[in-house]
Amino acid sequence: MSTQPKNTPCELCASRKYSMFADLSEQQVCTISDHKNLISHRKGQILYYEGTKPLGIFCINAGVVKVYKIASNGKEQIVHLAQKGDFLGYAALLGEENYTNSAMIVEDAKICFIPKEAFLNTLLSNTQFFKRVTKQLSHELGVMEEKLTDATQKSIRERLAYVLLHLASTYGIEGGDNHKIDLVLSREEIASIVGTATESIIRLLSEFKKDNLIELDGKKIIIKDKRGLARLSDFYA
């Protein structure tokens, strides 16, 4: 992992305003900044592996990271896609356990590593920040419970429709009525998000395309009929 100590300081970081650092005082941001390292950032690079010991947290400045678990059958389940402003690995740190998941860069990224001590010191000396982090953690727990419920109670078709809408709202770029998902994911990765076989995703995407719900622009997906997907995603919504 190539590291370039003290690259862009956090004070000047553009993605800070999207992050949990947004409310830190200038002084505290500087303390963090003094200890951080910018690490690189190529697609496919691993930030950490499940089962290893966390030594700090990762703060995403740019790019996209998939957080995933490998099931006992060897298949990958993506539990979260993280982007600029997101923190990674703090749950393991705060839970005082080894990483319970792994993280890999899926879109070239700039990521800062903040050592455990710097992060925890800031946390403990700044209750507001501690509350902010805990708030995020609580929110993520609710999201995960929702995903579990969807996984057991919804069909693959419904889940894919939902995932596409969600990706569009997070990575979408406008184009009139259309929303292009500005993120390249392989069919296999989409399958890992939905939690199904790659072939099922390929088939369903073909079906969605045939039904004029989506359109394909190279590797990227364009949402043509948001309302239609929303209807598909949830029978009762």
Partner DNA sequence: AATCTTCTATGATTTTAATCAGTCTTTTTT
Partner DNA sequence: AAAAAAGACTGATTAAAATCATAGAAGATT
Among 83, 202, 226, 228, binds DNA (CB under 7 A): 202
Among 3, 100, 125, 155, binds DNA (CB under 7 A): 155
Strands 87-88 and 56-70: antiparallel
| Residue closer to its own copies, measured from CB, 139 or 219 | 139
| Residue closer to DNA, measured from CB, 75 or 226 | 75
Compute φ and ψ for 209, nearest 5 degrees: -70, -45
Tokens coding 40: 């690189």
> Are 78 and 151 spatial neighbours (Cβ–Cβ below 8 Å)?
no
Say whether residue 131 binds its own copies (CB under 8 A): yes
Read off the amino acid at residue 124: L
Closest CA to 42 of 111, 115, 90, 89: 111
| Residue closer to DNA, measured from CB, 90 or 162 | 162
| Residue closer to DNA, measured from CB, 86 or 158 | 158
| Residue closer to its own copies, measured from CB, 91 or 181 | 91
Q: Apex CA 171: angle with CA 46 and CA 169, to 5°?
A: 130
Helix, strand or coil for residue 6? coil
Closest CA to 190 of 180, 200, 179, 182: 200
Say whether residue 136 binds DNA (CB under 7 A): no
Say whether residue 149 binds DNA (CB under 7 A): no
Binding site for its own copies (CB under 8 A): 69, 71-75, 77, 79, 90-97, 100-101, 124, 127, 130-131, 133-135, 137-142, 144-154, 194-196, 234-237
Binding site for DNA (CB under 7 A): 73, 155-157, 186-188, 196-200, 202-203, 205-206, 216, 218-219
